């Protein structure tokens, strides 16, 4: 889970590029970076930190150009605190290429060896995104030995790339003095959407974004989602051309985008995230109703679950209350890899309002329960503030399997639902009862809005890895690898 932005225009784009990237800050808080292109010149600034910390007004004086890309990183592979892992990545051959990537390659180890021994290209970091950058550059180089570049050669290069790599990838890239390229993996696991804006001179500025929120907050209009396996090129003179570069691609959007990752004001595959979360609440409430629990109050674990909790309370006809004051400057605890860090972060982030808990049977509503560390700490806080009973309902099913497509659920042994039934999970996190959404109901909460979506990547719930190259040996190997 990272956030990517690409903008192509006939006028300077550095300010709007930074503004759009800030709109995706929720997707990654470890590093930030932007690259701009002014003819054959490329400019780059990237480092550890938030967008506002990494990209200053002074930086914008030299980050000039009419085309640019940006990235915020939430690390899933590679060293978390290494500034060299920040995107965009750069290679100077064959033309000068910048690339930013959202996702995770599942055959990165094989590719790394191939890039070195067969493609004779050096990779400086342990990032799969740098591998992807070099493969794109190599495939393009093979087709442009005469240094003549055109759209057809770019399409062919990415067709070849798609045959070599597996996993999840949404990509924006700059090719020096040529233009921008955006493409999405054949399963469309990670989102990518196109927007546009007609300027005062009647020219069109195009924006590619991981989420529509960054498009709309900058007064662009949504055009459409980039299709699975599709490549879209915007040349430096503003011409746009698109082509499917994989045989028989099929959408399998990551279902966790709707549960947690995306902002509620975003629209992904014609589904408003806010409406999907309302539906999650309605389906979850029906399941809770069947249990005949004595519930005095419904309280969300802010912020993602608020919409869900409102619908739960409304359906159950129980009072909805805000029970926590949230410090919005602490970041998203899901993104912290260390259990002790998450525990401390929860205490710093959520301060309870005692009167909402004292002497009550409390139903907490959360978007998901992954490692259980956060849930355990929150339940402990609620009990200390006088709750009689504490139930917790999750809008997502039990997370039983690692996610290998770009979300930090690295090993099964870290998951609270691994080898535990619901009663054992409740005991482990200190709840009187835990209620999980069913996977069918979770899917229905989305397909009720857009019936054209027929398949999802729900691998962390059902263990079905759609790229087909994930087996027990692969999953076990993750245990001995430091994924951050």
| Catalytic residue annotation | 2
Please say whether the beta carbons of 393 and 368 come within 8 A.
no
Distance CA 70, CA 88 (A): 7
Q: Using omega within 30 degrees of 0 as the cis cutoff, is the peptide bond preceding 82 cis? A: no
**Dihedral in degrees, nearest 10, Cα atoms 130, 171, 76, 30:** 90
Please say whether the beta carbons of 67 and 11 come within 8 A.
no
Which residue reads 């093979």 in tokens? Answer: 142
Tokens of 308: 């869900």
Distance CA 24, CA 264 (A): 12
Distance CA 292, CA 297 (A): 14
Distance CA 50, CA 57 (A): 14
Q: Of 457, 362, 368, nearest to 405 (Cα)?
A: 457
In residues, how long is the chain? 484
3-state per-residue secondary structure call for the chain: CCEEEEEECCCCCHHHHHHHHHCCHHHCCCEEEEEEEECCEEEEEEEECCHHHHCCCCHHHCCCCCEEEEEEECCCCCCCCCHHHCCCEEECCCCCEEEEEEEEECCHHHHHHHHHHCCCCCCCCCCHHHHHHHHHHHHHHHHCCCCCCCHHHHHHHHHHHHHHCCEEEEEEEEECCCEEEEEECCCCCCCCEEEEEECCCCCEEEEEECCHHHHHCCCCEEEEECCCCEEEEEECCCCEEEEECCCCCCCCEECHHHHHHCCCCCEECCEEHHHHHHHHHHHHHHHHHCCCCCCCEEEECCCCCHHHHHHHHHHHCCCECCCEEECCCCCCHHHCCCHHHHHHHHHHHEEECHHHCCCCEEEEEECCCCCCHHHHHHHHHHHHCCCCEEEEEECCCCCCCCECCCCCECCHHHCCCCCCCHHHHHHHHCCCEEEECCHHHHHHHHHCCCCCCCCEECHHHHCCCCCCCCCHHHHHHHHCCCCC
């Amino acid at each position: 889970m990272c956030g990517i932005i690409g903008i192509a225009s006939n006028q300077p784009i550095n300010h709007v590029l930074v503004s759009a990237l800030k709109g995706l800050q929720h997707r990654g808080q470890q590093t930030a970076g932007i690259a701009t292109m002014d003819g054959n010149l490329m400019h780059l600034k990237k480092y550890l930190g938030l967008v506002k910390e990494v990209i200053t007004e002074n930086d914008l004086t030299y980050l000039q150009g009419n085309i640019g890309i940006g990235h915020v990183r939430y690390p899933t592979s590679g060293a978390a605190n290494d500034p060299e892992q920040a995107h965009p990545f750069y290679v100077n051959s064959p033309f000068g290429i910048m690339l930013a990537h959202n996702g995770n390659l599942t055959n990165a180890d094989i590719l790394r060896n191939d890039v070195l021994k067969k493609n004779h290209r050096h990779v400086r970091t342990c990032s799969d995104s740098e591998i992807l950058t070099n493969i794109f550059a190599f495939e393009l180089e093979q087709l442009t030995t005469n240094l003549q570049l055109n759209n057809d050669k770019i399409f062919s290069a990415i067709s070849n790339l798609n045959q070599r790599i597996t996993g999840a990838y949404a990509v924006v890239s700059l090719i020096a003095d040529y233009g921008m390229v955006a493409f999405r993996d054949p399963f469309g696991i990670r989102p990518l959407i196109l927007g546009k804006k007609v300027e005062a001179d009647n020219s069109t500025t195009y924006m590619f974004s991981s989420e529509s929120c960054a498009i709309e907050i900058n007064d662009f209009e949504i055009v459409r989602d980039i299709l699975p396996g599709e490549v879209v090129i915007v040349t430096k003179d503003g011409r746009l051309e698109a082509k499917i570069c994989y045989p028989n691609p099929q959408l399998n959007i990551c279902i966790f985008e709707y549960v947690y990752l995306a902002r509620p004001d975003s629209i992904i595959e014609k589904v408003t995230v806010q409406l999907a979360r309302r539906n999650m609440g309605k389906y979850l409430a029906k399941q809770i109703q069947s249990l005949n629990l004595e519930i005095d109050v419904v309280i969300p674990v802010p912020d993602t679950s608020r919409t869900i909790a409102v619908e739960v309370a409304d359906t159950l006809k129980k009072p909805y209350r805000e029970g926590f004051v949230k410090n919005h400057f602490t970041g998203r605890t899901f993104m912290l890899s260390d259990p002790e860090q998450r525990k401390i972060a929860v205490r710093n982030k959520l301060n309870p309002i005692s009167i909402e808990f004292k002497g009550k049977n409390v139903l907490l509503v959360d978007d998901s329960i992954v490692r259980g560390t956060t849930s355990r700490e929150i339940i402990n806080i609620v009990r200390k503030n006088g709750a009689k009973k504490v139930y917790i309902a999750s809008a997502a099913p039990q997370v039983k399997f690692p996610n290998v497509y770009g979300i930090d659920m690295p090993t099964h042994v870290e998951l609270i639902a691994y080898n535990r039934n619901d009663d054992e999970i409740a005991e482990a996190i200190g709840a009187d009862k835990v209620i999980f959404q069913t996977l069918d109901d979770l899917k229905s909460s989305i397909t009720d809005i857009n019936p054209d979506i027929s398949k999802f990547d729900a691998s962390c719930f059902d263990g079905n890895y759609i790229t087909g190259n994930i087996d027990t040996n692969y999953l076990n190997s993750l245990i001995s690898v430091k994924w951050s």
